Amino acid sequence: MQTEFDLEKIKDIVQLAIKEDIGTGDITSRIFIPEGSESEGVLITKEAGIVAGLPVAGYVLSQIDKDLIFKVNIEDGSRVEKGSVIASVKGLTLSLLSAERLVLNFLQRLSGIATETNRFAEKVRGYKTRILDTRKTTPGWRYMEKYAVKIGGGTNHRMGLYDQVLIKDNHLEIMEPEKENGNIGSLVKKAREQVANEVLIEVEVEDLCQIKEMVDAGVDIILFDNMAPSKINEAVEIVKELENSRDACTSRAILTEASGNIAIENVEEYAKAGVDRISVGMITHSARALDISFDISCKVML
């Protein structure tokens, strides 16, 4: 799967990782490895999965030693089996040993997220539903982790607090005194007056009776959090009926989203309920790293 990657967005985190791990240098390798020694390293998958993060691995290597030769055998997003050689690196042995753990930390983590996302995406294949990530990401890694979600077949939710209005239960609790007789629709209208038209407005709904109010107020996305699939199905049907009665020429389609306590075992039930989106925090915060090795050999003395 081809997904554009912006190296500018990872420069700081890569430099931090290099400083954290290498510091003033690899003292063990300096003791035992001659300066002129050259080797080849190969990245091998030790289990099946989706590989993500090869652009990151290449950038890390270039920051360790610009003369390292990095050759990839597959595209990011490729499904691989156990024992696949996904890339190779040639150059100074000291550089390869310094880069080994850094490359694996990025590549294993991102491949794990892509693999977990793909498991969810495959479960809802055939339905209109898309799998979305959340803001439950590793601090500083959000761009990379959301990239891995896309590589795995998922869709990105908002990148942060700045690019979409999302009125959730805590907002509603805090703003209770401001609501006009419990009219959540007034909050949607207030938000629309203060943000650009292209900025989406999403509201978490706790009760089905609030749906009409949201539709009338011009909400873009209705979020059903911690609701059973059967109740969500009922809610989706209500949204459809209300949309059919609107002026399609002046209104954009309302999206429906489910979240909360969604796992691989029940995600298909939520897709069957008819929602457009299912947001799953665990594809980033709980994804297991994909097992990949970086084997270095073929030492040559210069």
Per-residue pLDDT tens over the stretch 90-117: 999 999 999 999 999 999 999 999 999 9
- Of these residues, 101, 128, 231, 288, which one is catalytic? 101
Whichever domain contains 141, its CATH number is 3.20.20.70
**Is 148 part of any domain?**
yes
Query: Which residues of the chain are under the pLDDT cut of 70?
Result: 1-2, 176-182, 247-251, 298-302
**Is 175 part of any domain?**
yes
**Is 179 part of any domain?**
yes
pLDDT (0 to 100) of residue 286: 96
Question: Alpha carbon 44 to chain centroid distance?
Answer: 23
Question: Tokens 């706790």 sit at which residue?
Answer: 206
Pairing status of strand 38-45 against strand 85-92: antiparallel
Whichever domain contains 54, its CATH number is 3.90.1170.20
Q: CA-CA distance, 294 to 104, in Å (whole number)?
A: 7
Q: How many domains does the chain have?
A: 2
Mean pLDDT computed over every residue of the chain: 93
194 shares its domain with 275: yes
Decide if 272 is catalytic.
no
| Alpha-helical runs (H) found in the chain | 11-21, 27-32, 54-64, 93-123, 142-151, 169-174, 185-194, 211-217, 229-244, 267-272, 282-285
- Of these residues, 136, 192, 212, 272, which one is catalytic? 136
**Is 110 part of any domain?**
yes
pLDDT (0 to 100) of residue 64: 98
107 shares its domain with 208: no
192 shares its domain with 247: yes
Decide if 207 is catalytic.
no
Q: Which two tokens stand for residue 302?
A: 């210069």
Q: CA-CA distance, 25 to 32, in Å (whole number)?
A: 13
**Is 278 part of any domain?**
yes
208 shares its domain with 96: no
Write out the residue range of the structural domain in which residue 132 sits: 125-285
Decide if 101 is catalytic.
yes
279 shares its domain with 295: no
83 shares its domain with 131: no
Decide if 240 is catalytic.
no
Q: CA-CA distance, 276 to 228, in Å (whole number)?
A: 16
65 shares its domain with 213: no
Q: Which residues contact 50 (CB under 8 A, 6 or more apart)?
A: 77, 78, 79, 80, 111, 114, 115, 117, 118, 151, 152, 290
208 shares its domain with 228: yes
Q: Are 53 and 294 in contact (CB under 8 A)?
A: no
Q: CA-CA distance, 216 to 243, in Å (whole number)?
A: 10
pLDDT (0 to 100) of residue 183: 75
97 shares its domain with 41: yes
188 shares its domain with 52: no
DSSP state of 298: E
Q: Which of 26, 46, 44 is nearest to 97 (CA)?
A: 26
92 shares its domain with 165: no
- Of these residues, 122, 213, 225, 234, which one is catalytic? 225
**Is 1 part of any domain?**
no
80 shares its domain with 164: no
**Is 2 part of any domain?**
no
Decide if 136 is catalytic.
yes
Q: Which DSSP string corresponds to 28-79?
A: HHHHHS-TT-EEEEEEEESS-EE---HHHHHHHHHHH-TT-EEEESS-TT-E
**Is 212 part of any domain?**
yes
pLDDT (0 to 100) of residue 302: 44
Q: Which residues contact 168 (CB under 8 A, 6 or more apart)?
A: 204, 223, 225
- Of these residues, 19, 168, 179, 190, which one is catalytic? 168
- Of these residues, 145, 202, 204, 257, which one is catalytic? 204
